[in-house]
Amino acid sequence: MTAAVLWAEADRCIIRRMATLSGAVTGTRTRWRALVLAGALGWSCLQTAGLVAQPGVQYDVLIRDGQVFDGTGTPPVTTSIAVRDGRIVAVGALPNARATTVIDATGRYVTPGFVDVHSHAGEGLSGALNHGQPVLAQGITTVVVNPDGGGPVDIAGQRATYEKRGIGPNAALFVPHGSIRREVLGMADRAPTAAELDRMLALTRAGMKAGAVGLSSGPYYAPGSYAKTDELIALAKVAAEVGGVYSSHIRDESDYTIGLVAAVEEVITVAEKGGLTGIVTHMKALGTGTWGASAEAVKRIEAARARGVSVLADQYPYEASGTSITGALVPRWAQVLGDDAMIRRAKGDERPRLLADVKTNIARRGGPATLMIARFAPDPSLEGQNLDQIAKLWNKSPEEAALDLLVQGGASLVSFNMTDNDIDHIMKQSWTMTSTDGGLGPMGVGKPHPRGYGAFPRKLRLYVRERRVVDWPFAIRSMTSLPATVFGLKDRGVIREGAWADIVVINPAEVADKATYTDPHQLSVGIDTIIVNGKIARLAGKFAPALSGRVLTIER
Ligand SMILES: [Zn+2]
């Protein structure tokens, strides 16, 4: 590097540190203190930049000469990063630095570790899959679990399990509205009594107190769908008391009930009246009748933000969603009072009415050929086949075949129902974060949606490198500083001195998803070095056995 480059780096370093310390230099002796501080900072910045000799410093990890994206959306700077005791302690040329592990990042992108704001890995992380390799291989160093209103009611217990057994990536936890409602009201389609609402509020408060980062809801699914907006606002207010957010699988992403735009408006209402940030999670326009409606939905969010309501979205970069026969095709009236009641309806007098509704829902999602069976435990040979093929195999109508699958235990589905126009438009918004919506299951079982293995690298490969829908700094910000700020994950999602050392090293030419719809159990490639809380989680493609993840709580 030339001297001019090093001086510029020393300048940046001084400005950065002065900004961090500006709060410390107030009062009558401001000028004296500022001068003293500037002198001290200046000298250490000259050392960091390598303009004056630095005593040989020993670090845990040193990442040399990478193109460093700080996560805030600015272009990369070629520099080095030193890590000690879990934190980034120096960013600069660092010519005299020594470290236990030295990583040559020449020609690589170095970014903050990614934050997945909608992850179904929660259950996998509490068991034998706690290392989370398919998650880490995507560059994800933090997952936010219990989305869609689902997951355990006992947040303290979930946290204790993670802390006792250890987890590969960091985890932040939602309090799930749907599970709380089921705990208190079962699968009843009615409003809670005052006493029942009090119990729901108490469970929400207990979860937030145990360290949750917000409330998740799924008013699309039963029993969340039996809740009116005022119930969601009441629980959201409890999350707001401690700075939590509200993330919702909205009531309708399509044209099932109230429609996409009204469902987005419901999130805005909860955010506004609840006094907290609202997130339209895995935002999409689902089904032929709703294609193009992302334009109006985006406008509504923009209008809310313009009047000061904090509303954002997240998105996974696929044209197919993943759900179950029940979630996608069975109407909510048929789920009242639970699974046994639903099966009775599917076999009894209400079968004709149910068949008619299932037929409508198959058409709404694009027809039977767009619905692929992901997991069907009673007969795995059907996995990977679509509903049209199964109907022909069984010599039945698609709606009859769907109800047969349901009666035999239900199946999970991959549902092809989105268009590039809507996906691109949502991705380009400055308030859209990145998510997987992926689970963490045993490798080789079923044909799960590939997003659990590939969502983040897919966005970098297909939407950044190949199609150029968004650029690198913008995409990386949507995966790092934006979610960290929204969720109150202090000193995360950024590369700067003092931040936690969650760092990934990316090969920009090779980063890619390998998981496909028909062959989903494939780890992503191109992110071979991953650091979680200052510890190596993966080095040169080899996973370390360490479980360095922590449960992250709100710190603003
Ligand atoms: Zn969802």
> What's the 555 CA to ligand 1 centre distance in angstroms?
26
Distance CA 223, CA 227 (A): 7
**DSSP bridge partners of 333:** none
- Same domain, yes or no: 400 and 253: no
> What's the 437 CA to ligand 1 centre distance in angstroms?
7
> What's the 199 CA to ligand 1 centre distance in angstroms?
25
> What's the 344 CA to ligand 1 centre distance in angstroms?
27
> What's the 218 CA to ligand 1 centre distance in angstroms?
7
> What's the 336 CA to ligand 1 centre distance in angstroms?
20
- Residue 394 domain boundaries: 323-416
> What's the 408 CA to ligand 1 centre distance in angstroms?
24
DSSP-derived 3-state class of residue 497:
coil
- Same domain, yes or no: 137 and 283: yes
Within a domain: 363? yes
Nearest CA among 166, 136, 162 for reference residue 151: 162
- Same domain, yes or no: 263 and 395: no
> What's the 198 CA to ligand 1 centre distance in angstroms?
26
- Same domain, yes or no: 171 and 225: yes
> What's the 244 CA to ligand 1 centre distance in angstroms?
19
- Same domain, yes or no: 164 and 25: no
Output DSSP code: residue 306. H
Pairing mode, strands 114-119 and 109-112: unpaired
Which pLDDT score is estimated for 18? 65
- Same domain, yes or no: 179 and 303: yes
Within a domain: 60? no
Helix (H) or strand (E) holding 170: strand 170-176
> What's the 518 CA to ligand 1 centre distance in angstroms?
22
Distance CA 70, CA 535 (A): 19
Within a domain: 513? no
Instruction: Give me 91's structure tokens.
Output: 């960013």
- Same domain, yes or no: 200 and 223: yes
Which pLDDT score is estimated for 141? 98
Which of 383, 416, 449 corresponds to the end of one domain? 416
Within a domain: 14? yes
Which pLDDT score is estimated for 444? 87
Within a domain: 465? yes
Distance CA 75, CA 70 (A): 8
Which of 416, 451, 471 corresponds to the end of one domain? 416
- Same domain, yes or no: 369 and 347: yes
**DSSP bridge partners of 68:** 77, 110
Which pLDDT score is estimated for 64? 98
Which pLDDT score is estimated for 31? 55
> What's the 545 CA to ligand 1 centre distance in angstroms?
31
Which pLDDT score is estimated for 57? 80
* pTM of the model as a whole: 0.92
> What's the 211 CA to ligand 1 centre distance in angstroms?
22
> What's the 49 CA to ligand 1 centre distance in angstroms?
47
**DSSP bridge partners of 432:** 313
Within a domain: 89? no
Give Cβ neighbours of residue 240 (< 8 Å, ≥ 6 apart).
Answer: 274, 275, 276
> What's the 148 CA to ligand 1 centre distance in angstroms?
5
pLDDT tens sequence for the chain (556 residues): 566 666 777 777 677 666 655 555 455 555 555 555 666 666 666 666 666 656 678 999 999 999 999 999 999 999 999 999 999 999 999 999 999 999 999 999 999 999 999 999 999 999 999 999 999 999 999 999 999 999 999 999 999 999 999 999 999 999 999 999 999 999 999 999 999 999 999 999 999 999 999 999 999 999 999 999 999 999 999 999 999 999 999 999 999 999 999 999 999 999 999 999 999 999 999 999 999 999 999 999 999 999 999 999 999 999 999 999 999 999 999 999 999 999 999 999 999 999 999 999 999 999 999 999 999 999 999 999 999 999 999 999 999 999 999 999 999 999 999 999 999 999 999 999 999 999 999 988 999 999 999 999 999 999 999 999 999 999 999 999 999 999 999 999 999 999 999 999 999 999 999 999 999 999 999 999 999 999 999 999 999 999 999 999 999 8
Which pLDDT score is estimated for 37? 60
Q: Contact 242/264 with Cβ under 8 angstroms?
A: no
Distance CA 416, CA 426 (A): 17
Within a domain: 164? yes
The number of distinct structural domains making up the chain is 3
> What's the 238 CA to ligand 1 centre distance in angstroms?
22
CATH number at residue 258: 3.20.20.140
> What's the 319 CA to ligand 1 centre distance in angstroms?
15
**DSSP bridge partners of 305:** none
- Same domain, yes or no: 132 and 281: yes
Give Cβ neighbours of residue 223 (< 8 Å, ≥ 6 apart).
Answer: 178, 181, 182, 185, 186, 187, 188, 189, 335
Phi, psi of 386 (to 5 degrees): -95, 170
- Same domain, yes or no: 245 and 368: no
> What's the 280 CA to ligand 1 centre distance in angstroms?
10
Within a domain: 388? yes
DSSP3 helix / strand / coil % (the chain, rounded to 5)? 40, 20, 40
- Same domain, yes or no: 394 and 448: no
> What's the 147 CA to ligand 1 centre distance in angstroms?
7
- Same domain, yes or no: 310 and 341: no
> What's the 318 CA to ligand 1 centre distance in angstroms?
14
Instruction: Give me 530's structure tokens.
Output: 């991953």
Which pLDDT score is estimated for 256? 95
> What's the 177 CA to ligand 1 centre distance in angstroms?
13
DSSP-derived 3-state class of residue 63:
strand
Which pLDDT score is estimated for 537? 98
